[in-house]
Amino acid sequence: MNRKPSCRARALVPAAVLVLLGACSGPPTADTPPAADAPPATRPATAARPALTVRATTPQPVAWHRTIPATGNVAAWQETIVGSEIGGLRIAQVFANVGDRVKKGQVLVALDDAVVQADLAQARAQLQEARAMHAEARANGDRARRFQPTGMMSEQQVTQYLTAEQTARSRIDLAAARVQLAELRVRQTRILAPDDALISGRAATVGTVPQAGQELYRLILQGRLEWRAEVAAADIGQIRPGDGARLTLAGGESAEGRVRSIAPSIDPQTRNGIIYVDLADSAAKAGMFANGEIMPAAQEAPRALSLPQSAVLLRDGFSYAYRIGPDDHVTLVRVTPGRRRGDRVEILSGIAESERFVETGAGFLSDGDLVEVAAPVPASQQ
């Protein structure tokens, strides 16, 4: 009768088998692959993969002149109103419109001159009459002066003839003055441009009867515009007449100018002073608001380093850039930006000229990431 092995005997058999197998197999060699369930520390290290392929850039030295920020309105250098000097005459013709450039002495408006031409003809007739009366009075005066020593004419008659001669001469002067006045009124029926100008407003309409002094045209003399820039009182002492200026208009266009004069006083409310900048021909229009900067010429341009705009990140209110180390790992460094010009930013602190920084793709990186630096693009292919 067979007896079944006990539970303890059944458990010892597999253990003995495992011991024998381990003894036969011997210690593991270097060629023996690790077990699949080996702990991670015993597995061989794999190569790290770059987080991103980036393009590197190095800080570029720049020598930008210090600029002074300013804001203000564009206005006419000098604006004048042109109107009629005589009233009660109908406008017969209008020769200019808004936006036209006119020359000094050019006719802008012609008034109906029928009435003043008639007044001129009447004044000239009165002048001829006065001259005829003077001729007769002068003949009588000559006769009186000739007979006065002989006693053939009384002193009273002599005095009357001589007085009549003087009166007739005065009437000629009066009539001549009336002719001059009538000729002036005729000339005033032609309203002329007082100077080379750009027409900025027109109220003249054919058929209307303007009164004396009523506005018919508004002119920007010589078509000149100026930028009335407001500058902080702390900076206004650095500006001199002749300094350059650059401004950006509301539509994005840029304009150049030159400082003409500086206001002698400071606004006590804003603590700003006014700088008058003559503008060159540009897209600026009177009434535009513009931001810009004054560029003092007397100062030497300081040397500074700059990075592309794409290399500078803004996080939590501060500016940063990713520096690429020798092992191609990136480090987030805080930088202090300065002025901006084009696509470059002046960096006041935080970088060195010999360092490399991430130019593109910085927004997708984290501090310590490994990157692959792309080969620089040849200048001929840019």
pLDDT of residue 28: 44
Q: Quick one: 212 and 85 in the same domain?
A: yes
Last residue of a domain, one of 295, 314, 349: 295
What letter would DSSP give residue 377? P
Task: Let me know if residue 94 belongs to a domain.
Answer: yes
Q: List the beta bridge partners of residue 344.
A: 308, 341
Angle between helices 155-188 and 114-147 (to 10 degrees): 160
Q: Quick one: 183 and 286 in the same domain?
A: no
373-382, Cβ contacts within 8 angstroms, sequence gap of 24 or more: 373/53, 373/54, 373/55, 373/56, 373/324, 373/328, 374/53, 374/54, 374/55, 374/56, 376/55, 376/56
pLDDT of residue 159: 87
Q: Quick one: 195 and 85 in the same domain?
A: yes
- Give the CATH number of the domain where residue 232 resides: 2.40.30.170
Contacts of 32 (CB under 8 A, 6+ apart): none
What residues make up the domain containing 351? 54-63+302-377
Task: Let me know if residue 24 belongs to a domain.
Answer: no
Report the b/e string of 288-323 with b at 16+ CB within 10 A: bebebbbbbeeeeeeebbbbbebbbbeeeeebbbbb
Task: Let me know if residue 17 belongs to a domain.
Answer: no
Q: Quick one: 100 and 121 in the same domain?
A: no
Task: Let me know if residue 259 belongs to a domain.
Answer: yes
Q: How far, in Å, CA of 305 to CA of 335, rounded?
A: 11
Over its length of 382 residues, how does the chain's per-residue pLDDT go in tens digits? 444 444 444 443 444 333 334 434 444 444 444 444 445 444 445 567 888 888 899 999 887 777 888 999 999 999 999 999 999 999 999 999 999 999 999 999 999 999 999 999 999 999 999 999 999 888 988 888 887 788 777 888 888 888 988 999 999 999 999 999 999 999 999 999 999 999 999 999 999 999 999 999 999 999 999 999 999 998 888 899 999 999 888 878 888 999 999 999 999 998 999 999 999 877 888 889 999 999 887 555 667 899 999 999 998 889 999 999 999 999 999 999 988 888 889 898 889 988 999 998 888 888 999 998 887 655 445 4
Q: How far, in Å, CA of 100 to CA of 77, rounded?
A: 17
Q: How far, in Å, CA of 343 to CA of 381, rounded?
A: 19
Whole-number Cα distances in Å, 262 to 100, 176, 245, 248: 31, 51, 13, 21
Q: Quick one: 308 and 366 in the same domain?
A: yes
pLDDT of residue 14: 43
Q: Quick one: 368 and 341 in the same domain?
A: yes
Contact 329, 103 (CB under 8 A): no
Count of domains observed in the chain? 4
- Give the CATH number of the domain where residue 202 resides: 2.40.50.100
Q: Quick one: 159 and 194 in the same domain?
A: no
Place of tokens 């980036």: 54
Last residue of a domain, one of 253, 277, 295: 295
pTM of the model: 0.58
Q: Quick one: 350 and 369 in the same domain?
A: yes
Using DSSP's 3-state secondary structure scheme, residue 2 falls into: coil
pLDDT of residue 35: 45
Q: Quick one: 235 and 105 in the same domain?
A: no
Task: Let me know if residue 25 belongs to a domain.
Answer: no
Task: Let me know if residue 321 belongs to a domain.
Answer: yes
Amino acid identity of 209? V
Q: Quick one: 308 and 372 in the same domain?
A: yes
Q: How far, in Å, CA of 279 to CA of 195, rounded?
A: 19
Q: Quick one: 362 and 332 in the same domain?
A: yes
The secondary structure of 246-258, three-state, reads EEECCCCCEEEEE
DSSP string, 169-202: HHHHHHHHHHHHHHHHHHHHTEEE-SSSEEEEEE
Last residue of a domain, one of 165, 187, 209: 187
Task: Let me know if residue 249 belongs to a domain.
Answer: yes
Whole-number Cα distances in Å, 168 to 144, 157, 162, 163, 375: 16, 16, 10, 9, 106
Q: Quick one: 72 and 89 in the same domain?
A: no
Task: Let me know if residue 46 belongs to a domain.
Answer: no
- Give the CATH number of the domain where residue 372 resides: 2.40.420.20
Amino acid identity of 149? P
- Give the CATH number of the domain where residue 129 resides: 1.10.287
